[in-house]
Each structure stands twice: as C-alpha cells, then as structure tokens.
Amino acid sequence: MTRALVRILFCAIAATALSLSAQQTEVVLSATSGSKLVMAVAPPKLAGVDEATATQEFTGVLQTDLDETGVFGLLKDKLPTATDPSSYKAWKEAGAQWLLVTKLTRAATGELQLEATAIDTGAEKAVFTKPYKADRLVPMRRLAHALADDLVFQLTGVRGVASSRIVFVRQLHPGVKEIFQVDRDGASLLQLTRNASLTLSPSVASDGRLAFVTYKGGAPEIWGQRVKGGAQVKLYAAPGGGMVSSPAWSPDGKRIAFVQGDRRGNTDIMVLDLATGHARRLTDGSGINTEPSWNPDGTQLAFTSDREGGPQVYLMQSDGSNLRRLTNEGTYNASPAWSPNGAMVAYVSRFEGKFDLFIYKLGEGKSYQITTGVNTSESPAWSPDERQLVFTSNRFGSMQLFTTDLSGRQVVRLSGLSNCQSPVWTRAR
C-alpha cells in the first residue's frame, strides 16, 4: 500500500498534526565491515563476439556490478596487458589482489559461452573458475550479472544481487496502473500484468510466484499464481465485494497475509491459507491495521496500526498473539519491511515535514535514519543480501525508483521511469 493511501485511511481517524520527536537522530549504518578486496578485470578474450558489444554489454555491466557490491574495489588505471601466469606479479605490484580473466565465445548456433577465472595474485593461483552458457535470446549482460554474483559469494559466502529483479507498480494512465519488472540495474523492463485497471501491491513468493490486488472486476480482489510459472488467477475476494489490500506471501509460500476492510471503515490483518481458501483474522478492533510484512521464518508479522492514535509499527505472532508496539519515536511511522535475516525492520517516518526511510535494529531496540528530508522517500524494500534498500522518491519530480546503501550515502536512481510505487526486490523472478 502506498504512503498516500495509508494517509487517506488514517486521516479519518487521526486529527492531530504529524511531527517527529526531536530524539530521532541520524546514525550511519554499515552492512559489512573491513576493507574492500581490490580486483582488476582484464579485457575479455573474444571469439565470434563484437568488441564494442562486449565492452558495453559485458565488461561495462560487470564492472558496474562489482563496483556496486560494496565488497570489491576495482583497479582501473595503469594495468598490465598480459594475463598469463608470468604476469601475476606485475598485477600484484599494480595493486590487484584478484585478477579476473574471462573469455567470451559466440557459437555458430548463437549460444554464448563464458569462461571466467579469478586469480589470487599473491598466491598466484586460481580462487574461482566457472563456465557459463546462455542461448542466443539471453542478453550478454545476464552473464555479467551471474558472474558478479558468484564472485561476491566466493568472497563473502553470500550471493550477490546483480541478477536479482525489482517488481513494482507504475501508472500508465489516470486510473490505470500495472505491475512491471526490471533487472537490478534498471535494464530489461518487462510488463507483468495487463489488466487495464488499477493493479496494486505486488508481492513475490520465494519461488517467484506473483500476487497483487486488482480492480479489473470492479471491487478489489487478490490475484496471483498458484503454481510457479502458472496463470494469474483470482486467489481471494472479500465477502460482499469489500476492500482488500496489501497481500504479502509468507516465506513458505503457503499463506498470504493481507488487509480486509469492514463497513465501518476499519481494516484488519488477515491470513489466507492457499490450500484451503480459508481466511483467518489476526487483528480485531476499531481503526486501521494494514501493511503486513513477514519475518524470515514466518512466525511473526510487522504491520502498521493507529490503535494508539497516529500510525505506528507493531509486531505480532503469526496467529495474532503477543502484539507489541515497535516504534515509539515520532507520530507517523508506517510501511514496515522485515529484513531477510530478521534483524531489522525498515519503515517510513515523517521527519522535518518530509517522509524518510528509517531502520529499526531489533537487537538494539533503536531506530536509525537512512534518508534525509530533502524530498519524500517511501515504500522501502530490502535487497536479498540485506545490504541495500529499494524505495521510491520524488527528488527528481515524479515518484521514481532508487536504491540506497544502509548509510544513506550511496543513493542511486534505478531508472528514469516516472509514476512508480511499491517496489519489491527479489531473486526469484
């Protein structure tokens, strides 16, 4: 659910002005520690591949991917030209700890083959070797993404996110919003729904299945895929055509948490069991309960509620028990997103007249500001490796997609697409 819609829901209930406690301070967070490993990427050896294409679609993409990982530093100036074993000492003296050597081959059938080897220049031995293949329809940049992710895994034990996708909503015309997908670097735009209506709140299961809310039949309904790669079908409709919103797949892909409204204007968190079609209510009371987000093992939910006045983030067990308030600083906190390892919850808070991204570290019981109030930032979602957030912001006019590291210092516009909302960052699609 977008911040604008949340505000509409809350405005009938919350009459006080929105402000933030002066106790909230900006603190720099870091997802990793230690210095970066310095890598040199040698120009690829080519067979049947145009050099200009390889430079743009492979080498350039690979270098950008590695540079944005936060764990590699790229050596780019005054590099040796040879890559045989006798040259390793020269690469080391140039400052490279790892040397990446690649060969791209385009077969007569159109199949693209990549051979990649990373050499530890100090030990003068390979630390990573892997072949890759892609058919003629797969863009060369996908091989670069896959290689970058594998190199991150080799160094850190956690796979990188270059091959991941971001699913989001975009307004095409007044009254028409559809769900789209882009690669992590903003390339390869793909439209996922064609409902010619309001289609909102995408959620992606761990196996790539999509769920969303659509108004294509008039009243809002939850649609999605029952099986991976399957057709988009209706999964749930509220009795009497009532309001539903904010579907969220459980980590095991067997349940969907969502929001259902009643005739009094209240909304509650529900959980749909896909196997039985039974929906169970988890919250029950007057006011607004919305925006559910699962913890990684599916035992708890974070959500937004105005049960104590203004909107705040709350936690509860997946059966609705043990309800407790998470955020206490500020009078407007919403849009919680539980981190992949369960240690943090990202959310939106009103700060100095603007909406900004914050992170609550559960182990510390403290909130940290990520973005600063130059423009509005909203709808945070975690990268699969928990090193970054994707969000929407109007810092260049209309709402566009951005990513940020956890310090808030490396904010990058993902693409120039306008009128975007509700991003989800996923490996599965």
Q: Convert the pLDDT of each residue in 239-250 to its tens digit.
A: 999 999 999 999
The DSSP secondary structure of 141-179, one letter per residue, reads: HHHHHHHHHHHHHHHHSS--STT-EEEEEEEEETTEEEE
Read off the amino acid at residue 125.
K
Whether the pLDDT of residue 15 is over 50: the answer is: no
pLDDT at 3 over 70: no
Percentage of the chain exceeding pLDDT 90: 86
- Per-chain mean pLDDT for the chain: 91
Q: How far apart are CA 304 and CA 380, in angstroms?
A: 14
List C-alpha distances in Å: 25 to 6, 105, 144, 363: 25, 53, 39, 18
Distance between CA 261 and CA 295 in Å, rounded?
A: 24
How far apart CA 21 and CA 44 sit, in angstroms, is 54
The pLDDT value recorded for residue 28 is 35
- Read off the pLDDT of each residue in 372-390 and give the average, rounded to a whole number: 93
Q: Tell whether the model's pLDDT for residue 283 goes beyond 50.
A: yes
| Distance of alpha carbon 340 from alpha carbon 333, whole angstroms | 20
Query: CA–CA separation, 177 vs 359, rounded Å?
Result: 29
pLDDT of residue 380 exceeding 80, the answer is yes
pLDDT band at 12 (very low <50, low <70, confident <90, very high): very low
Q: What is the structure's pLDDT at 77? A: 87
Distance, CA of 42 to CA of 100 (rounded, Å):
6
pLDDT at 89: 97
The pLDDT-based confidence of 25 (bands split at 50, 70, 90) is: very low
pLDDT at 4: 46
- Span 104-147, pLDDT tens digits: 999 999 999 999 999 999 999 999 999 999 998 899 999 999 99
Of the pLDDT bands very low, low, confident and very high (cuts 50, 70, 90), residue 224 is very high
**For 107-119, how does the pLDDT look when each residue is reduced to its tens digit (9 = 90+)?**
999 999 999 999 9
User: What is the model's pLDDT at position 31?
Assistant: 37
| Residue 192, pLDDT above cutoff 60 | yes
* Residue 400 pLDDT level (bands cut at 50, 70, 90): very high
Give CA–CA dist 181/424, Å, rounded. Answer: 9
- Predicted confidence (pLDDT) at residue 14 exceeds the cutoff of 90: no
- In this structure, the strands spanning 210-214 and 112-120 are unpaired
Scored b (16 or more CB within 10 A) or e, 7-36 reads bebbeebbeeebebeeebeeeeeebeeeeb
- Mean pLDDT confidence for 270-282: 97
- What local confidence, expressed as pLDDT, does residue 246 receive? 98
3-state secondary structure of 65: helix
How much is the pTM?
Answer: 0.89
Do residues 291 and 247 make contact, with C-beta atoms less than 8 angstroms apart? Answer: no
Answer whether residue 415 shows pLDDT above 80. yes
Rounded mean pLDDT of 341-369?
A: 94
Beta-bridged to residue 289, according to DSSP, are 305
398/123 Cα distance (integer angstroms): 51
Q: Mean pLDDT, to the nearest integer, of 22-49?
A: 68
419-429 mean pLDDT: 96
pLDDT, tens digit, for every residue of 298-350? Answer: 999 999 999 999 999 999 999 999 999 999 999 999 999 999 999 999 999 99
322 token code pair: 């043990």
Q: Is the pLDDT of residue 21 over 70?
A: no
Is the pLDDT score of 255 beyond 60? yes
pLDDT band at 7, cuts 50/70/90?
very low
Buried b (16+ CB within 10 A) or exposed e, 74-109: bbeeebbeebeeebbeebbebebbbbbbbebbbeee
Give the chain's domains with CATH numbers: 3-10+18-31+164-426 (2.120.10.30), 42-156 (3.40.50.10070)
In which residue are the tokens 């104590």 written?
308
